[in-house]
């Protein structure tokens, strides 16, 4: 059950102080196995991080993932970069990460890629993208993933989790129904659920599992695999 109440207005937007402040509660309610995804991300990060390396989180939202890695990683002197389009989210992230050194938070539209950041491929060992690419315009996703690939050191990894569409119309309909059931089971009001779904039209554009894997390969990530699958959600790991 959600601890705090989000004000579901006519237009769902991450550029909302109300949504940013209650976002962690919201995703725990509306994203399947969200805490497990966070745990998996943390466990996998240990295979790629070295002392003095850099971690990038695109769509950093409240900074939860970076904080988890900082608090649990055995690696030393890690640097963290969190990127988000929403200043409201970054305000919350700044508070959540204020006790951590070597954190840089950047407000930018990921539709423009990451060229302006001049990422170094020598120290960036891990890029995290949790439920972010689905909000990037379809025509801009290749640019962003190519920027990430170029910015990673050899052997570095991208951990990506996305909402997906089914490869078959019948399966897709079943998965959507079961996903809606999950959200209502977790306490989301059906009316609020419909408001959010309606306001995301044209903003969130998921693609299929196979299309995501194909896009990763197209951008240089020939070594990629599925690490998570729950109905219409999937997680991927891709290594440079």
Residues 6+ away with beta carbon under 8 Å from 53: 75, 78, 79, 123, 124, 125, 126, 153
Q: pLDDT digit string (tens) for 94-112?
A: 999 999 989 999 999 999 9
Q: Is residue 2 part of a domain?
A: no
Would you place residue 1 in the very low, low, confident or very high pLDDT band (cuts 50, 70, 90)? very low
Q: What is the pLDDT of residues 227-237, one digit of tens each?
A: 999 999 999 99
Average pLDDT over residues 137-147: 96
The full 3-state SS of the chain, as one line of letters, equals CCCCCCCCCCCCCCCCHHHHHCHHHHHHHHCCCHHHHHHHHHHHHCCCCCCCCEEEEECCCCCHHHHHHHHHCCCCCCEEEEEECCHHHHHHHHHHCCCCCCEEEEECCHHHCCHHHCCCCCCEEEEEEECCHHHCCHHHHHHHHHHHHHHCCCCCEEEEEEEEECCCHHHHHHHHHHHHHHHHHCCCCHHHHHHHHHHCCCCCCCEEHHHHHHHHHHCCCCEEEEEEEECCEEEEEEEC
Domain range for 163:
17-239
Q: Looking at the domain assignment, is residue 149 inside a domain? A: yes
Banded model confidence at residue 128, pLDDT cuts 50, 70, 90: very high
**Dist CA 156 CA 54 (whole Å):** 10
- Checking if the pLDDT of 4 tops 60, the result is no
12 domain residue, yes or no: no
Q: How far apart are CA 48 and CA 55, in angstroms?
A: 10
Across the range 121-145, mean pLDDT stands at 93
The rounded mean pLDDT for the chain is: 90
Q: Are 209 and 133 in contact (CB under 8 A)?
A: no
Give a yes or no: residue 4 inside a domain.
no
Residue 8, in any domain of the structure: no
Q: Express each pLDDT in 55-64 by its tens digit.
A: 999 999 999 9
| Residue 132 lies inside a defined structural domain of this protein | yes
**Residue 76 forms part of a structural domain:** yes
* pTM across the whole model: 0.92
- pLDDT given at position 120: 60
Tell me the CA end-to-end span of the chain in Å, nearest whole number. Answer: 39
Q: What is the mean pLDDT of residues 78-96?
A: 95
* Packing angle of the helix pair 87-96, 64-72 (nearest 10 deg): 20
The CATH number covering residue 203 comes to 3.40.50.150
Q: Is the pLDDT score of 217 beyond 60?
A: yes
When mean pLDDT is compared across 91-105, 133-147, 176-190, the lowest value belongs to 176-190
Buried b / exposed e across 160-182, counting CB within 10 Å, b at 16+? bbbbbbbeeeeebeebeeebeeb
Domain count, the chain: 1
In a domain, 9, yes or no: no
Integer angstrom CA distances of residue 55 from 52, 93, 217: 10, 15, 22
Residue 2: pLDDT band (50, 70, 90) is very low
| Mean pLDDT, rounded, for 160-182 | 95
- Which range has the worst mean pLDDT, 4-13, 39-48, 179-188? 4-13
């Amino acid at each position: 059950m959600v601890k705090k109440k989000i004000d579901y207005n006519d237009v769902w937007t991450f550029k909302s102080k109300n949504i940013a402040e209650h976002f962690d509660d919201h995703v725990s309610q509306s994203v399947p196995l969200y805490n497990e995804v966070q745990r998996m991300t943390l466990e996998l990060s240990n295979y790629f991080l070295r002392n003095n390396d850099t971690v990038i989180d695109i769509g950093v939202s409240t900074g939860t993932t970076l904080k988890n890695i900082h608090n649990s990683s055995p690696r030393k002197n890690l640097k963290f970069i969190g990127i988000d389009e929403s200043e409201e989210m970054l305000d919350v992230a700044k508070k959540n990460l204020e006790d951590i050194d070597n954190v840089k938070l950047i407000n930018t539209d990921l539709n423009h890629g990451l060229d302006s950041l001049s990422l170094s491929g020598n120290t960036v060992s891990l890029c995290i993208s949790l439920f972010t690419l689905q909000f990037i315009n379809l025509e801009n996703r290749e640019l962003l993933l190519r920027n990430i690939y170029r910015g990673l050191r050899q052997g570095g990894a991208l951990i990506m989790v996305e909402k997906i569409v089914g490869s078959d119309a019948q399966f897709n309909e079943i998965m959507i129904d079961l996903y809606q059931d999950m959200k209502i089971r977790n306490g989301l009001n059906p009316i609020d659920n419909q408001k959010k779904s309606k306001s995301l039209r044209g903003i969130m554009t998921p693609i299929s599992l196979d299309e995501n894997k194909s896009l990763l390969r197209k951008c240089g990530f020939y070594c990629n695999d599925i690490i998570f699958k729950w109905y219409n959600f999937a997680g991927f790991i891709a290594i440079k």
